[in-house]
Structure formats: C-alpha cells, structure tokens
C-alpha cells in the first residue's frame, strides 16, 4: 500500500522550523577521506580499503588556519573513512590541541592494530583527544554482521587498550564514547537504557569501561539505502522515520551548529549532505579557503528526506540523541 509521506520541508514547517537555519558554528567536522581498513554494510561514506579520496596537506593547512582565525570554533571533529589513515591527521589534531580546542577522533577501534598505527593510541592519549568509537552492539554477532567477521573481538582489544591508557576511566580526562547504531531497518533504543545495558554487559563480559554511549539512527543513504532497497524495507523505513518526526529533535539537529568539510575542502551542512554532494547554500563561500563564519552562522540548511533520520524519536546526531 503506497502512502504519500510529507516532505521534510512540510514536517519542518509544521514545527515552525522552516526554513531550517543555523544557530551558529561551534564545531568544524572534517572528513579527511574515504579510505578505511573496514567496509561496513551500513557505511554512509561507502568507505573501504580501495578508496583513494584523501585530504591533502594544503587543505589540512587551510583547516588549521580557519581554526586559528576563528576561536569560536571550539571543537574539531575528525572523521572519515578511518581518519587516522590520513597522513595529516596527527598534524591537524595536534595543531588544534595546541590552540586549546577540543578534538574528537571518530575511531573504528580496529585501526589501532593496523600496521603503521602502533603509536596511535598513545598519540591520542598524550593529546587528550576524545575518542568516539563505533560499537554497534555489545555482542559479537550483531557487530560482526554489520562491520565484518572478527571486528567485535578486535574492537574489544582496542577498548581494553584505550582503557589501559586511562580512556573512559573515572578520574581521568580521557573521554571514550561509544556509538550504537541499529543493525537494520529499525530505530535505536532509548539512549539512557541502552547505555546502562552496555555498561553492565561490557564490564561483566570483558571488563571494559567507557564514558557515554551515543545511540544513532541509520540514515537512508549510501550502503544502508541499498540494503533498504534490496530487502524491500525502504518504504516502511521511510514511513517509520517520518512518522516519528519530533519537532524538539529537529530544533536541535547538529547541522545548526556545525560545518562539515569534505576532503577537497568543500563545505557542507553535515557529513550526510557531504556524501549526497549537497554543499552549503552560501554560494561562493562553500569552500574552506573562503570560510565566512558570519554567513555560515546564519545560513539556511540544505535538507531532504534523509534528514528524517536526524529527527525521528529522540533524534540522532554525531553526539547521539538530541531530544
């Protein structure tokens, strides 16, 4: 039975949020490339070992320069692919830390054991970089189905290594946040309940501690969209997302306070729009070399049906639920 869903713009209008405007820019989220040592089924970046797109030194220097000129950018959030594979990852992270900025590494955990990454965990700890690590479930079966056979046990090793350096341990300033995402066409659980479950199970089964759990919704783009199409779940999933539209979550979507930078320096409203090749709406200033903080801070966000993934239920962002 085909049902016509309201457009995202209509849902925003119903919550008095159309057009969706930025409220400022406090986070620069930089996607340094699509290369990754994994090739997960749900990856919205279509990342993998054979991807070659990668931020070069000139663009990395432009990022550092923008941070230097804009102290209001309090957070540098580095993602990928596996961001640590970019040769300029450590340069950007340590420069930003040198300026006193908060730095986040979106880490897949298995990268810690790749050749050439032997000193990575120590580098992150020495620079007080927040680690946000993917762990789609606290059991091996669901994690491995999504991320590849053996990924769960390697992830456990990675978490234990980070714990041994003080990450996620009470009384240290080393933040280790974990990321849950659903293993299919369904919404994430309540973040607080799931965090308690992760805490209990990871401690009992592996002796692992962590700071917080973020529950994320899978957005219907890239590999996950292909899965939805192949499995005949696309229409139902879209109906579920739009039916769960929450105005409170919509008013807190992450794009209102961040700007996302592509590996070639193009500016986007978020990493998802980046993968959909929808740059920011500010025209000539849509490249890091023309970064105009004033314009970006009050820009109109480019939205589409995929945005329903950020506004369903308790909402979803790179920092978990938002409502």
Residues lying near other proteins in the complex (CB under 8 A): 1, 137, 139, 141-142, 180, 182-184, 186-190, 193-194, 197, 239
SS3 percent helix, strand, coil of the chain, rounded to 5, is 40, 15, 45
The total of other beta-carbon atoms located within 10 Å of residue 126's CB is: 12
Residue among 5, 9, 39, 323 that touches ligand SF4 (CB under 6 A): 39
> What secondary structure does DSSP assign to 267-307, as a single string?
EESSHHHHHTT-B-SSGGG-BGGG--HHHHTTPBP---GGG
Residue among 17, 22, 40, 131 that touches ligand SF4 (CB under 6 A): 40
Residue among 17, 78, 310, 322 that touches ligand SF4 (CB under 6 A): 310
User: Can residue 320 be called a binding residue for ligand SF4 (CB under 6 A)?
Assistant: no
Closest approach of Cβ 238 to ligand SF4, in Å? 14
DSSP H or E stretch at residue 258: strand 258-261
> Considering CB distances under 5 to 8 angstroms, the limit depending on partner class, which of other proteins, ligand SF4, none binds residue 188?
other proteins
Closest approach of Cβ 13 to other proteins, in Å? 23
> Considering CB distances under 5 to 8 angstroms, the limit depending on partner class, which of ligand SF4, other proteins, none binds residue 142?
other proteins
Q: Which positions from 267 through 306 interact with ligand SF4, judged by CB under 6 A?
A: 269-270, 272-273, 301, 303, 306
The mark string for 124-163 relative to ligand SF4 (x by CB under 6 A, - otherwise) is: ----------x------------x----------------
Nearest to ligand SF4 of 105, 269 (CB atom): 269
> Considering CB distances under 5 to 8 angstroms, the limit depending on partner class, which of ligand SF4, other proteins, none binds residue 141?
other proteins
Tokens (6 digits) for 235: 């229409």
Residue given tokens 């979507």 in the structure block: 253
Would you say 206 and 164 are in contact if contact means Cβ atoms under 8 Å apart?
no
The closest of 48, 224, 38 to 147, measured between CA atoms, is 38
The closest of 232, 188, 236, 221 to 307, measured between CA atoms, is 221
Would you say 28 and 274 are in contact if contact means Cβ atoms under 8 Å apart?
no
> Considering CB distances under 5 to 8 angstroms, the limit depending on partner class, which of other proteins, ligand SF4, none binds residue 265?
none
User: Can residue 43 be called a binding residue for ligand SF4 (CB under 6 A)?
Assistant: yes
Residue given tokens 């005949």 in the structure block: 232
Show the CA angle centred on residue 90, arms to residues 254 and 161, nearest 5°.
Answer: 85
The closest of 142, 144, 154, 134 to 213, measured between CA atoms, is 134
Summarize as ranges the residues that interact with ligand SF4 (CB under 6 A). 36, 38-40, 43, 45, 47, 80-82, 108, 134, 147, 253-255, 269-270, 272-273, 301, 303, 306-307, 310
């Amino acid at each position: 039975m085909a049902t016509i869903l309201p457009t995202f713009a209509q849902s925003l209008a119903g919550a008095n949020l159309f057009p969706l405007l930025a409220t400022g820019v406090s986070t620069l989220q930089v996607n340094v490339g699509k290369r990754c040592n994994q090739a997960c089924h749900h990856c919205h970046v279509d990342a993998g070992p054979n991807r070659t797109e990668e931020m070069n030194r000139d663009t990395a220097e432009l990022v550092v320069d923008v941070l230097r000129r804009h102290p209001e950018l309090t957070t540098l959030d580095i993602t990928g692919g596996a961001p640590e594979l970019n040769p300029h990852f450590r340069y950007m992270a340590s420069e930003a830390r040198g300026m006193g900025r908060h730095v986040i590494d979106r880490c897949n955990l298995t990268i810690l054991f790749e050749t050439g990454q032997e000193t990575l965990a120590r580098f992150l700890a020495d620079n007080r970089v927040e680690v946000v690590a993917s762990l789609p479930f606290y059991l091996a079966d669901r994690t491995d189905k999504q991320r590849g056979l053996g990924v769960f046990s390697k992830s456990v090793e990675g978490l234990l290594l980070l714990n041994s350096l003080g990450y996620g341990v009470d009384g240290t300033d080393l933040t280790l946040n974990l990321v849950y995402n659903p293993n299919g066409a369904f919404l994430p659980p309540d973040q607080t309940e799931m965090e308690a479950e992760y805490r209990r199970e990871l401690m009992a089964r592996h002796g692992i501690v962590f700071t917080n759990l973020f529950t994320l919704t899978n957005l219907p783009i890239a590999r996950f969209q292909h899965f939805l199409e192949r499995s005949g779940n696309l229409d139902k999933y879209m109906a579920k997302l739009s039916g769960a539209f929450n105005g409170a979550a919509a008013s807190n979507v992450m794009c209102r306070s961040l700007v996302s930078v592509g590996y070639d320096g193009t500016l986007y409203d978020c990493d998802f729009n980046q993968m959909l090749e929808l740059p920011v709406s500010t025209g000539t200033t849509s490249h890091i070399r023309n970064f105009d903080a004033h314009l970006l801070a009050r820009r109109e966000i480019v939205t589409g049906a995929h945005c329903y993934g950020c506004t369903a239920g308790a909402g979803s962002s790179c920092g978990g639920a938002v409502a």
